[in-house]
Amino acid sequence: MVKAIVYTLTAIALCVGLFIFTQWYVSTQFGEFSDALETLYTKVETKTASAEDGYAVRTLWNDKKSKLHVFVPHNDISYIDYWLNEACGLLYNGEYELALGKVEVLKEIAKALPDAYSVKFENIF
Amino acid sequence: MALIFIRTTIIFVVLLLIMRLMGKSQIGEMQPFEFVISLVIAELACIPMADSSIPILYGIIAIVTIFILHEIVWLFELWFKPVKNVVSGKPSVVINKNGIDEFQLKKNNLDVSDLIESMRVAGYFNLDDVYYGIYEANGSFSALEKEEKASCSLPLMLIDRGKADTQNLARCGFDRDELKKFLQKQNCKEKDVVVMTVNGEGRVYFQKRGEHYKILQCEVNGQW
């Protein structure tokens, strides 16, 4: 019985530790990505962004997503890939108005995704 | 991740509750919470395996949650007896010295034919072959058998909870009028009978609702 109690408490402790780490890690990663998107958005708005700026955000995202795949469903990650690639293509062609809309969507996804995995009433049910 | 833990816990509790409400007819030789675990765990293991869009960690967390819930339920059952009664249920004595306890059968979502089937599986072909018949908490049937078995002829059910079985009536050469006369002699109506069986030798097991069972005799063709 002592063994069962030890195993149970260990499993609970590991789970709680993992929950706290996941919450912190996902929020931090998406926070950094949001900051990069905010900078890109400002540049696109003032029409000073280049394709390289878009590629830089994409490189940052590619680095983060390789680890985020462990915690976030892969479909959610592929949405960001899709919108980011579209934004990069539009920046490459110098279509700032269209690119602005794409970056706006990306900003919203980056804000909403960590929330979708936090412990909230609406997420539980 | 915490979401998976909470959602798994909710599903576990709801399934356990539903299984308990369904009674002993739905579980086969397992405690209700063990049955729920075996029901859930296979699916939890399969989903992340089959769907590559779900991180495998989601499946692992859900399975670990089930492990934690199993251990918690087991420890609670060990420490607090009332918890065991709530989670796993209690054995139900469905046959006692008065005959069939209809209330206990209904409580476990069972009927007389389920009971007779369980008895046959356990090796008892007559309702009065046992002193006591018990459905254990895990759904299995146990009985305290009588020293002498009633007969070597297979009984047929003529009335099951107030409804006559016309096929069995025909099989044993009984018609509706004869049954009616038989019931009149017993001073009751068809709907008042919990169970009435007859074997090839004409030996009748008869139990009226709320009364002690009787062993009677009648004329049958004995062709089974």
Question: What CA–CA distance (Å, rounded) separates A38 from A86?
Answer: 17
**Domain ranges, ordered by start, for chain A:** 2-124
Q: What's the rounded mean pLDDT across residues B32-51?
A: 82
- The answer, yes or no, to whether residue B27 has pLDDT greater than 70, is no
Interface of B with A in 25-54 (CB under 8 A): 52-54
- The answer, yes or no, to whether residue B223 has pLDDT greater than 80, is no
The pLDDT, as a whole number, for residue B40 is: 86
The pLDDT, as a whole number, for residue B182 is: 87
| Nearest by Cα to A41 from A32, A30, A54, A28 | A54
- The answer, yes or no, to whether residue B129 has pLDDT greater than 70, is yes
Per residue of chain A (125 residues), what is the pLDDT tens digit?
788 888 889 999 999 999 999 999 999 999 999 999 999 999 998 888 888 899 999 999 999 998 898 888 898 899 899 999 999 999 998 888 899 999 999 999 998 888 888 888 888 88
- Tens of pLDDT, residues B79-95: 888 888 888 888 999 99
Q: How confident is the model at residue B200 (pLDDT cuts 50, 70, 90)?
A: confident
- The answer, yes or no, to whether residue B149 has pLDDT greater than 80, is no
- The answer, yes or no, to whether residue B29 has pLDDT greater than 70, is no
Give the pTM. Answer: 0.70
Contact A5 B74 (CB under 8 A): no
Q: Does domain A2-124 have CATH number 1.20.120?
A: yes
- The answer, yes or no, to whether residue B110 has pLDDT greater than 80, is yes
Q: What's the rounded mean pLDDT across residues B3-14?
A: 86
Work out the percent of chain B whose per-residue pLDDT is above 70.
95
Tell me the nearest-neighbour CA distance from B84 into chain A, angstroms: 17
From chain A, the residues in CB contact with B74 under 8 A are 4
Q: Is B127 exposed, middle or buried (0-12, 13-18, 19+ CB in 10 A)?
A: buried
Sheet harboring B163-164: ordered strands across?
B163-164, B156-160, B193-198, B203-208, B214-217
Helix, strand, coil: what percent of chain A each, to 5? 85, 0, 15
A67–B contact, CB cutoff 8 A: no
Question: What CA–CA distance (Å, rounded) separates B151 from A32?
Answer: 83
Q: What's the rounded mean pLDDT across residues B146-162?
A: 83
List B143's β-bridge partners, or say none.
Answer: B133
Find the CB nearest B6 among A5, A14, A119: A119
Question: What CA–CA distance (Å, rounded) separates B17 from B32?
Answer: 9
- ipTM for the predicted complex: 0.79
Report the Cα B154 to chain-centroid distance in Å.
21
Average pLDDT, chain B: 85
Report the Cα B161 to chain-centroid distance in Å.
15
Residue found under tokens 């996804």: A109
A66–B contact, CB cutoff 8 A: no
Tell me the nearest-neighbour CA distance from B136 into chain A, angstroms: 25
From chain B, the residues in CB contact with A65 under 8 A are none
